A and B are shown apart, each in its own frame.
Chain A
Amino acid sequence: MKLALREMRRRPGQFVTATVILTLIALLLMFLGGLLDGLVGSSTSAIEAQRGKVIAFSSTSQSSFPSSRLTSAERTEIESVAGAGAVGGLSVTQLGARIPGNGPRDLIDVALFGYEIAPTGVPDPPAAGEAWADDSLREQGVTDGMTILLGPARSPIRVAGFVSGLQYNGQGTLWSSPETRREVQNANRPDARESDGVYQAFVVTGTEGGAADALAQQIDQATSGATESLSITAAANAQPGVEEQTSTFNQIIGVTVVIAIVVVALFFALLIVERTALYGVLKAMGARSGTIFGGVVLQAVVVTAIASIIGASISILVASVIPAGGIPFQISAVRIISSVGYLLVAAVIGCAFSLRRVLRIDPASAIGTGS
């Protein structure tokens, strides 16, 4: 092992090509992952932020907010479930919004939520006619205290302040009291009017230690199948397009990891071919194949680790300079760690293709041959 590390210190040039290629792959992996997280986040972060264990939709809605309607009768049934904890209504209306100073046809897309249980990062509901605005709306010209006009009915909503990291369906969000949101809904969507007490979904907090799936089942039983209850994560993933997006990106990420395996396999196979004579000599002197192969794996891991560090640093830098509301790119510690993990596993697997080559190096080749 010492031999392998010394070679890297004394002959770093030998490993530059592999390091550069693996850095590009690391960057691609982290960028793809960050883009996926950003895209999914822009669709679902408003749901992921809900402070509860379960979200209940109407069973015919296919977990879609606009298609779901639950009444106070279902609410009572949900509240009666043991271990339900608090139950809060949650509804959303998606409209075009007019910003002062923009042209009459220059609308921005917003999702106005009405909530009872404040999500993570959102204060309690503001006064009537007001809403907290997501940070991403700043890029669209929204400012603190501004009154924006929603929908064809031009319902006025005053921005009471900003929250961050809460997007829905690729849109910036506004967070208001349920009454304010219902008023806007009824004014702008006469075909989908809602009575008092009607919500699109209920957020159920549950109790500490309780399992979300078990609670979801109990709720659906209590409502005699009128609801379809999901954990917060499952509800987020059920939003239109999220699963398809995730699947597509994960396939691309998978292909990228395979490319990393191939790069490592080819590079180190070449390196071993170049070192056949040296390894023959070491084996003749009594070096075990395992020791030699361990050195190769160590070099692959070190090269990959260096590439990962550079890739992660660049990814974090890119994430810090992208403005909120720009490219949906979000780099998290989990994403970086998982990307590094994939690359390290790829490095070890790539080297494994060279194991047979190492085993077949004949120590007898060191004797009786000139260099």
Chain B
Amino acid sequence: MSMDTTTRPAGDRSTTDEPAVDLQGVRKVYTVGDDEVVALDHATLRVEHDEIVALVGPSGSGKTTLCSIAGGILSASEGTVRIGGQDITHFKEKQLSAFRRQSVGFVFQSVNLVPFLTARENLLVVDEMGKRTGRAARDRADQLLEELGLSDRRNNLPSQLSGGQRQRVAIGRSLMNDPTLVLFDEPTSALDTKLGEQVMELIRDEMHARNIAAIIVTHDERMTHYADRTAHIVDGVIGAT
């Protein structure tokens, strides 16, 4: 896959001192009947604005919970959560929803493209959820598709794309709102080794080219060398990185 890395200005991200992700002493506790389950235990994680961090851990270690809190999907029980300089610790549901629309991109484990939308429309759905920018959104979608090598596939449905192409559309979708942070949830779990490596390479190159921070959740240690840094999490505790 070739892509244009000469690219786009990073906007304010290149000049800010604030890290993209700053989790301090974050705890997440679930109450199950009379018991308490600690999914995250005083987790502290800092990710700079152009850094890619691989988050590695076994199933049930708290990776998804940490991602969900960093992405504004869940609220922390304790601690502070700052994303792109914005303290979202005490945000209500509506504020979190707006925050996700504006500042976070997601690439889900099962890609989860909308099956009845073309590749281009899957990118534009992000614009339709928020304040519509019309022409600007269409231009951005076309540009992203070109940079991701998908211009000739823009009018194809997900069922007409290969696994790698679907993954690239998902990456393009995560970049539509020019986010502060992109969260990748097991991006290579459904791909073979060669394709997985291609996708990881693409993620690394795209994130670095745009100065966007990324957290890649993976249980595959073979993929971690594509990240700038690896953080290990076990039983809700992040080890030294």
Contact = CB atoms under 8 A, between A and B. Distances in A.
B110 A369 contact: yes
* Residue among A3, A6, A285 facing the most chain B CB atoms (10 A cut-off): A285
Contact of A286 (B63, B98, B114): B98
Given A278-B112, A366-B108, A284 B100 contact: yes
A277 B112 contact: yes
Contact of B101 (A2, A10, A285): A285
A277 B112 CA distance: 8
B67 A367 contact: yes
* Residue among B112, B125, B173, B185 facing the most chain A CB atoms (10 A cut-off): B112
A369 B73 contact: no
B83 to A, nearest CB: 13
A286 B130 CA distance: 8
Given A287-B129, A291-B129, A369-B109, A363 B114 contact: no
Contacts of A284: 71, 73, 100, 106, 108
B93 to A, nearest CB: 9
Interface in B116-137: 116-117, 121, 125-126, 128-130
B86 interface: no
B181 to A, nearest CB: 13
Contact of B97 (A2, A286, A366, A370): A286
Contacts of A283: 97
Interface in A1-29: 2-3, 6-7, 10-11
B58 to A, nearest CB: 13
B100 A368 contact: no
B5 interface: no
A364 B114 contact: no
B102 interface: yes
A281 interface: yes
A6 B101 contact: no
A366 B129 contact: no
A357 interface: no
Interface in B133-174: 173
B234 interface: no
Interface in B59-109: 63-64, 67-68, 71, 73-74, 94, 97-102, 104, 106, 108-109
A6 B116 contact: yes
B92 to A, nearest CB: 13
A59 B239 CA distance: 97
Main secondary structure of the interface of A (DSSP, over half): helix
Given A367-B67, A368-B185, A285 B116 contact: no
B100 A285 contact: yes
B73 A368 contact: no
Contact of B117 (A6, A363, A367, A368): A6
Given A2-B128, A286-B97, A364 B112 contact: no
Interface string A268-299: 00000000011001111111100100000000
A366 B126 CA distance: 16
A33 to B, nearest CB: 37
Contacts of A363: 73, 100
A224 interface: no
A281 B68 CA distance: 12
A311 B81 CA distance: 56
A235 B125 CA distance: 60
A123 B131 CA distance: 65
Interface in A317-371: 363-364, 366-371
Contacts of A2: 128
B129 A288 contact: yes
A366 to B, nearest CB: 6
Nearest to B121: A6
B120 to A, nearest CB: 12
Nearest to A7: B116
B107 to A, nearest CB: 10
A278 B185 contact: no
A6 B64 CA distance: 32
Nearest to A1: B128
Nearest to B124: A2
A285 B129 contact: yes
A58 B25 CA distance: 91
Contact of B109 (A278, A286, A368): A368
Nearest to A370: B110
Nearest to B128: A2
Contacts of B117: 3, 6, 10
Contacts of A3: 114, 117, 125, 128
Contacts of A11: 116
12 contacts: A3-B125, A7-B116, A10-B116, A277-B112, A281-B106, A284-B71, A285-B173, A287-B129, A288-B129, A367-B106, A368-B63, A368-B109
Given A284-B71, A367-B108, A370-B109, 20 more contacts: A3-B114, A3-B117, A6-B116, A6-B117, A278-B112, A281-B108, A281-B112, A282-B125, A285-B101, A286-B100, A286-B101, A286-B126, A287-B97, A288-B97, A291-B129, A364-B74, A367-B106, A368-B109, A369-B109, A371-B112
Interface of A: 2-3, 6-7, 10-11, 277-278, 281-288, 291, 363-364, 366-371
Interface of B: 63-64, 67-68, 71, 73-74, 94, 97-102, 104, 106, 108-110, 112, 114, 116-117, 121, 125-126, 128-130, 173, 183, 185, 189-190, 217
Closest CB pairs A-B (n = 10): A286-B101, A368-B64, A371-B110, A286-B100, A10-B116, A281-B112, A287-B129, A363-B73, A364-B73, A364-B68
